[in-house]
Structure 1
Amino acid sequence: MPTPSQPIGVFDSGYGGLTILRDIVQTLPQYDYIYLGDNARTPYGTRSFETVYHYTLECVQHLFDRGCRLVVLACNTASAKALRNIQQLDLPTLATGLDGPGLDGPGLDGPGLDGPGLDGPGRRVLGVIRPTTEVIGNYSKTGNVGILATRGTVTSESYRVEIEKFFPNVNVFQEACPMWVPLVENGEYASPGADYFVQQHIDRLLQQSPDIDTILLACTHYPLLLAKIQQFAPPETTILSQGGIVSKSLVDYLIRHPEIEAQCSKHGLRTFLTTDSTEDFDRQATVFYGEPVQSEHLAL
């Protein structure tokens, strides 16, 4: 299948971003998409800011080289650790025209997937944290929100910073769940063996505040653990996944930026790239994406 000329790029460190892509495609099926999973170098959650930034930038550059005008970092760790630098420091040299700071950059305000800055005819890189933090306070009646994420996302404090901008009266409690991504990627997300690790981190989060009534799954792998999370969380707790929120925000972004929307090709084509084994990727991706995929290997 030939690569579309100007698809929307979706990047993740592995498979999790396919849960975001799935919801985006359901909402905006007419566009062409390229998904790039950096499976050979996953997980990102335990790596340094500098390493995540370097890996993410390399993958974004490849998506630009494949014709993408718009790239979504469907990875919380990459959004937290790399997006701001890419938007502010690299886009002026990577793309034609200047792109202003956007989603997830600490200290930056603005609606939806972007934010204020210099609009230009160049390419854009967006993330997944800002759309979530703009709405999360609307779900909580107690003003106490829990974040379940990788250690890298928690350490970055991105969710605290961004939620403070939109909901200054909301209290944010975070819990890093280092075992959850390996459980999901090894197919153990529905097994009895996952119960201990899921319950452990739910209990640790709720010990920080018994008034938490809304929990955000701030890692794109975690929706596969949703049944387990619901099992161990209080029944009245609202559990939020990011896919639906991000897809709605992308719709709004494209409406507000018709100059970008007009450049995105619309043939309904999907291309999947992985930096690791295509056989392994295709088998795992079916679980995350919800239908069979056929990937191409990318050597970085």
Structure 2
Amino acid sequence: MSKKGPIGIFDSGYGGLTVLKEIVNELPDYDYLYLGDNARSPYGTRSFQTIYDYTLECVKHLFSQDCHLIILACNTASAKALRNIQQQDLPEIDPQRRVLGVIRPTAEVIGNYSGSGHVGVLGTGGTVNSESYVMEIKKQFPELTVVQEACPMWVPLVENGEYDKPGADYFVQQHVERVLAKDPKVDTLLLACTHYPLLMKKIREYTPEHVSVLSQGEIVAESLKDYLNRHPEIDEKCSKGGSRHFLTTDSTEEFDAHGKEFFGNEITSEYVHL
């Protein structure tokens, strides 16, 4: 049997740490290896081909570190690279390994949160333009009405530490009001970017009380737990020593300083050149 290894968590930057935080809370016994491609972040404005190339390169690196299961904790990568990697690359690299995303697990449950049957998706331009959420939600809940809103300033606000400052209010209010104006029946908003949970307090300030706001971390963590229960052949390849290691393609000092805001704890990263 091949060597056991950690569960790989990939993101273009820091955002996936909000997902890892919830996964660790749900499944604390497993080993995790996080890779943030900070040197080439953000992915949201890049072309389909570039996002695919970057994501595949990072996936291959995590495979080289003995990861048998990788979570693309990045909505843009999940939208624009996951399918090609699953269908074209994995069969050649190693058909026994798995790469999963964050869009499908969210789409599988979002309809359960809405009473009106109308939901709004807030995401980066890349995620919104891909229509991935609309398509995946329609597969699971064809009766749902889905509206989207791209929020191009939200990631820069978060990454520059402005998410809890007065300057964020204008941009948060603007996009929350826009998505609700597109469909006044919306009673559930999905934060379809892993950076957005840091804006949750301000998002709630500008969202009517009857509208639920969902972040992905807990949903993805529950989905991963269920996946491992249903796939013991993958679970047995995942090492369980309770370790967490962090890799970044850019400054480790920057990653450690900003990363703790997303992860909720102090972290120490290592630099990796891809």
Q: Find the aligned partners of 1:5 and 1:47 in 2 and give their Cα distance.
A: 34
One-letter amino acid of the counterpart of residue 292, structure 1:
E
Contact 1:276 1:297 in 2 (8 A): yes
Mapping of residues 64-213 of structure 1, within 5 Å: 64-95=63-94, 98=95, 122-213=96-187
Q: Find the aligned partners of 2:154 and 2:24 in 1 and give their Cα distance.
A: 26
Q: What's 2:210 paired with?
A: 236
C-alpha displacement of 1:264: 0.4
Q: What's 1:46 paired with?
A: 45
Aligned-residue sequence identity (percent) comes to 67
Q: What's 1:11 paired with?
A: 10
Q: Deviations over 1:67-119 (max 9, x none)?
A: 00000000000000000000000001211xx3xxxxxxxxxxxxxxxxxxxxx
**Residue 88 of structure 1 aligns to a residue in which SS?**
helix
Q: Which runs of 5+ in 2 are unaligned?
A: none
Q: Which runs of 5+ in 1 are unaligned?
A: 99-121
**Residue 210 of structure 2 aligns to a residue in which SS?**
coil
TM-score (norm 2): 0.98
Contact 1:5 1:66 in 2 (8 A): no
C-alpha displacement of 1:204: 0.9
| Structure 1 runs, 4 residues or longer, greater than 6 Å off | none
Q: Find the aligned partners of 2:260 and 2:229 in 1 and give their Cα distance.
A: 31
Q: Find the aligned partners of 1:5 and 1:170 in 2 and give their Cα distance.
A: 41
C-alpha displacement of 1:17: 0.2
Q: Find the aligned partners of 2:131 and 2:93 in 1 and give their Cα distance.
A: 27
One-letter amino acid of the counterpart of residue 248, structure 1:
E
C-alpha displacement of 1:235: 1.3
- Equivalences, count: 272
Q: Find the aligned partners of 1:178 and 1:152 in 2 and give their Cα distance.
A: 9
Q: What's 2:251 paired with?
A: 277
Q: Deviations over 1:172-198 (max 9, x none)?
A: 000000000000000000000000000
RMSD: 0.8
Contact 1:134 1:163 in 2 (8 A): yes
Q: Find the aligned partners of 1:94 and 1:288 in 2 and give their Cα distance.
A: 32
Which of 195, 198, 213 lines up with 1:224 in the alignment? 198
**Residue 267 of structure 1 aligns to a residue in which SS?**
coil
**Residue 265 of structure 2 aligns to a residue in which SS?**
coil
**Residue 141 of structure 1 aligns to a residue in which SS?**
coil
Query: Which is bigger in relative contact order (C-alpha 8 A, separation at least 6)?
Result: 2
C-alpha displacement of 1:203: 1.1
